[in-house]
Amino acid sequence: MAIECDLTINFGTAGNSLAYLGGGWARSEPDFTWGIGAESHIVLPKLQAADAYVLTLDVVPFVHTPALPSQRLIVSMNDTVIGSSDLSRPTLLGYRFSRGMIGPGERVLITLRHPDAARPTDFAANGDDRFLAFALSEAKLYRIAGLDGGVPDRLPPGLMLGPARQAGCGARGDTEVTEWARRQTGMSVPQIALRFESLGENCEFGLFQRRCDSEPLGLLRFSSTFARNLIRGINNGFQGLGAAEDIDPRLEGDKPREYMIHEKKFGLVYHTFVYEGQRSIWLMREQESARLKFLLRKFMEELAVAEKIFVYKRNAVVAEEEILPLHMALNQYGENTLLWVQPAEPNRPAGTVEVIMPGLLKGYIDRFAPDDNAHDFSFDGWLRICANACVLDRLRKPEPPWSGS
């Protein structure tokens, strides 16, 4: 599979958006353009042939709590709805569509419907009586090839591996599930855990790896940040990460208080497992600056090699629209695999892993750890997901590395 970004539209004043705008837009501002009224239109030139496409939009909704807590966005490609979202915060969104939706014309019309547009003057005396919906800063169009034509390592969308509860590998007890995982993958539990790298949104998966007797060095293993910051960071190689002036060590929690790092450029917040009295704030800042720069180099190398399976989870439900921009970002460096983990569903029991599209797997877990206790995770659920993801990734890539290093 090959993913190419064919078009980037910048909606700031100095951008290139005027060549693509239809109706329903305000005048451009330095970093974005407001969609106004009931709908806005983007007109694209004829698209190059591909098996499928992904359109990403970087949007900020106009909200004013409590009266207007969110904005609805419905996206259509020509006359076909390709997705809808209800947004309360800045978000990067992605929508898939097939070549069959494009039609024979020379141009493609994207319609953004936003029925909740409202006037700021109705909420505050600021004099702005435009009906504002979303501020759009950037749109990207990705062309995906290699889905058809007999590619030998392709897995069909919808293929699933389930928890496979057989005699001797039931759900009760770590010993039973670890034996099942060894049989399923041909690897030890520490080797399985080392095949993965966490992308957030908290330290739950990093703690699962520790329980597996694996301590991989990972840029985001014990970090949290908003998905939009994460994707933008991957897209620009986390440029500037590790600058000492952006690192703010804070003593937090119960005694003994732990140094938590608050990184300003990309909004990373993470544990250090260093406690009050062990180091000075100055030394923490210097050490974390060097550490982040080292881990960033390692992270970018891993993206280029494309041997790890990258894991993203969030305790709240994450829609496909929020995952696709992350998948696109990872694949600009190499043929990377993303494992997106969500709560189990009636037809997708805990431990199931499903192929959504090449390189994008969706895992289903019985439960996530509570927000206030990341140590209380489901070891059984995570290990079953990881084992099945390893099998699917092995089928997709003819000769993946299985050394666990």
**Residue-level pLDDT at 396:** 79
Dihedrals phi, psi of 386, to nearest 5 degrees: -65, -40
Lowest mean pLDDT among 234-238, 269-273, 301-305: 269-273
Those residues whose C-beta lies under 8 Å from the C-beta of residue 356, and which sit 6 or more positions away, are 157, 320, 340, 362
Enumerate domains of the chain plus CATH numbers. Answer: 2-145 (2.60.120.260), 160-235+305-396 (3.40.50)
Lowest mean pLDDT among 124-133, 254-263, 291-300, 351-360: 124-133
pLDDT tens digits for 140-193?
A: 999 987 655 444 446 778 888 887 654 344 444 577 899 999 999 999 999 999
Those residues whose C-beta lies under 8 Å from the C-beta of residue 365, and which sit 6 or more positions away, are 313, 341, 342, 343, 344, 350, 351, 378, 381, 382, 385
Q: In the structure encoding, which two tokens stand for residue 185, read together?
A: 């993958």
Which of the 8 DSSP states describes residue 244? Answer: G
| pTM tops 0.85, yes or no | yes
**pLDDT reading at 13 higher than 90:** yes
Residue 349: strand, helix, or coil: coil
Dihedrals phi, psi of 326, to nearest 5 degrees: -65, -45
Query: CA angle, corner 125, sides to 122 and 130, nearest 5?
Result: 50
**Residue-level pLDDT at 49:** 86
Across the range 388-395, mean pLDDT stands at 93
SS3 content of the chain, % helix, strand, coil (to 5): 25, 30, 45
Cis omega (within 30 of 0) for bond into 201: yes
CA-to-CA separations, 120 to 36, 115, 368, in angstroms, rounded: 12, 15, 39
Say if CB 40 and CB 23 are below 8 A apart: yes
